[in-house]
Amino acid sequence: MIGDVYFLERSKLQAVLDELAGAEYELIGPRVDQEAIVYDRIERVEDLPQGWTDEQSPGHYRLKRSEDEALFSYVIGPHSWKKYLFPPLVNVMSSRREADGWTMKDELIEPKRFALIGVRACELAAIAVQDRVFNSDAYVDPVYAKRRENLFIVAVNCTQAAATCFCTSMGTGPRCSSGFDLALTELPEGFVVEVGSSAGQELVRGLGLGQATELNLQVAESRRQIAVTQITRKLDTDGLRDKLLSRLEHPQWDNVAERCLSCANCTMVCPTCFCSSVDDVTDLTNDEVVRQRRWDSCFNFDFSHISGGPVRYQTRSRYRQWLTHKLATWIDQFGTSGCVGCGRCITWCPVGIDMTQEVAAICSDVERS
């Protein structure tokens, strides 16, 4: 049943992967690549980042050996799962020049079925945010909707946190509470497995797992508690929307604009940022044209271009757009904050701009109007 808790011996994790692969899911999970933990295709437990952890602070990320041989003792890396649901590059339509002129056709293809292994609580929240952006309105993004429909999610509860984490402020973690098929908490000898869906239940039944013991549950809870106590970063969300929108001319926007490179890193690593553009890609004869949607960013100079030039022609206005959208106008648009507190924008900012500090600086002067 949903909510049942089982114990999975570490030696049986491969069986979970095999079951999913057998059900024609493409497995995506964490692995070490170019000195970071990224999300990519995996097949075997050995592909997972066993014995690796990460060290994060503003503008800083390093992989380190962990003290144990755990598979999930890292926090999060530069990738987010959005690249599988909202692909960075996807063909949307094509044109071909024929005798009587152009013909145009649909290029959306049936996507693969993905099983995501190792989704953290903040990342489940990010998927829920993008569900609202792409999949819950009169205008549904068919690219996202198709991928989302066939998704299987194996979540993993955090048992440690990074210095950049602030999910507790955003109410998104560190405990996985919903939005998964299975949720694991890693113990030295195996995993406590929580069932979150009937598909998850079916998979567990096939493996013949036993119930978790009281001791298993206690150890799992104490390990999850470590993450809770390690999270010290805070973002005060009380009245945040109104505070930000009433401070659109605050001098701190100029201050941060002096440091911000407008490089768009924060939007690329953000698990909820959804902006895109569509470009034409032609063959050499210019007779075959494919339109490709790619990730774009409100930090790019020509993002807001209109006939008279870009609307947001200064870094100040672009940073202000990003932050006020993420934390304020997003709420008007989608009924939720656009921030899940994962801290990626802080870690991967090349100059270490910390949005929690920028918000504090903008909002501290409460008398200001």
Helix-, strand-, coil-residue percentages of the chain, each rounded to 5: 35, 25, 40
Single out the residue of 40, 146, 177, 219 in contact with other proteins (rule: CB under 8 A): 146
In the chain, the amino acid numbered 248 is: L
258 belongs to the binding site for other proteins (CB under 8 A): no
Single out the residue of 2, 89, 109, 140 in contact with other proteins (rule: CB under 8 A): 140
Euclidean distance between CA atoms 270 and 36, whole angstroms = 16
274 belongs to the binding site for other proteins (CB under 8 A): yes
What count of other Cβ atoms lies within 10 Å of the Cβ of residue 119? 26
Single out the residue of 263, 321, 357, 360 in contact with other proteins (rule: CB under 8 A): 321
360 belongs to the binding site for other proteins (CB under 8 A): no
Euclidean distance between CA atoms 140 and 182, whole angstroms = 27
Q: What is the helix (H) or strand (E) element at residue 294, kind and residue range?
A: strand 288-295
The gap from C-alpha 365 to its chain's centroid, in whole angstroms, comes to 32
The gap from C-alpha 115 to its chain's centroid, in whole angstroms, comes to 15
Q: Which two tokens stand for residue 358?
A: 């920028």
Contact 341, 167 (CB under 8 A): yes
Q: Which two tokens stand for residue 51?
A: 């014995």
244 belongs to the binding site for other proteins (CB under 8 A): no
Single out the residue of 66, 237, 255, 329 in contact with other proteins (rule: CB under 8 A): 329
21 or 303: CB nearest other proteins: 303
Contact 195, 206 (CB under 8 A): no
307 belongs to the binding site for other proteins (CB under 8 A): yes
66 or 329: CB nearest other proteins: 329
57 or 317: CB nearest other proteins: 317
| Residue range at the interface with other proteins (CB under 8 A); choices 21-29, 112-120, 161-169, 285-293 | 285-293
Single out the residue of 50, 57, 66, 95 in contact with other proteins (rule: CB under 8 A): 95
Fill in the DSSP letter of residue 112.
P
Single out the residue of 50, 169, 230, 314 in contact with other proteins (rule: CB under 8 A): 314
Euclidean distance between CA atoms 269 and 293, whole angstroms = 18
Q: Footprint of other proteins on this chain (CB under 8 A)?
A: 92-93, 95, 97, 101-106, 108, 133-134, 137, 139-142, 145-146, 245, 248-249, 274-280, 282, 286, 289, 291, 293, 296, 298, 303-308, 311-314, 317, 320-321, 324-325, 328-329, 332-333
